[in-house]
A and B are shown apart, each in its own frame.
Chain A
């Protein structure tokens, strides 16, 4: 009897939670899709595959393509990771602009580079979205040629390309 009562109560509490969760998630601007993109072979992982359509067009999804751009020499690589990670190793010539310190750092960055400067952002590979956020922020302040190297530093390093 006690067990039946508990089961009934648990079903009620769980149902209320699930219903509330789905309603809030649907109405909230920060809500996420019911199924996310969590397969790293298909690209950067994200809870919100639908919301990222604009970002996906700017993606560079092979290390070789990033290397081609690197070899051309006119592209500026921008490292979205922390200063610490940048210090431990980065793509040669890359500039550090941690996405968490964007507001403090962007002014000196703007003074150094014109808006048409071709930029490639990167972070720690397909499990991190920082390079996407940084690309978005850079576009917002006027840079019109920003792309995202989604395999990031780990992908670059794994191919044996030079680091510094």
Chain B
């Protein structure tokens, strides 16, 4: 087992507006003003996203999903950054960013459909202003930059946000995305969730310097934020989006957080990390932190928290029943949308499969 120093998880310089104990703290550069109702709705989002994640993990263990990539522990980074996007902005998430897709209005069942294996997508990206989950590490960073270049060509004040993790910062595509964004002054925000682990590899296997510092070499600002502090994440992301809209170019945000679960349901983190690391991060839980803040400030009472729990219970039922009820796609579906225009080879094979299936007559051909 690799010995992991707890020094590796300390981030003294990260922007913070809410301490792990739920105390509001001031920062000289960043702040955010939110109404009481908004603060409560953030808590609701976090709880509901975590509940979807918990149900999905269970459904995978029951064999209802082929795989699940849990966002446990990263909800504040995802929901916080997603909530400050405008409707016209466009998000480019990874396969773990369920909190982001939630804020774009993607129904939870649509997030899960890919993991059940009934589709490779799940929603209409142009309608939700949210790209499909990208599985190849770092590919989507370039898509976000290209989209932002298109925004500039349009003369619009929309912005794009590209999500990736600490592991992706080693990928060529992410570094090329930094170059293209910089030289074309693209209105894009790079949102890196440094969850400390790229499957089994710690962050120091990806970079010798803090991730946010790498932005300087590409010619744009980088900022590190406490990724488990939803208020700080919102403040920092909104500031970066404003810069993008104002024509000031890209920003790299490093949200310092932690992957509380395994990489995916196929992974066994006990082989490479200590349980005490988890204990440290459990004390920094993003939801508990906001809950304590809301309660201490008198912004939410027991009744509110109970009501959110009830809503989460109802959502859990929708998720469990909905996943099991997803229709099996017909064999012909594999030929759909391979091309936008007619394609003779696809049509030939589509007919051949239909004829083959029909040759079984009343027998069911699996």
Are A and B a genuine interacting pair, yes or no? no
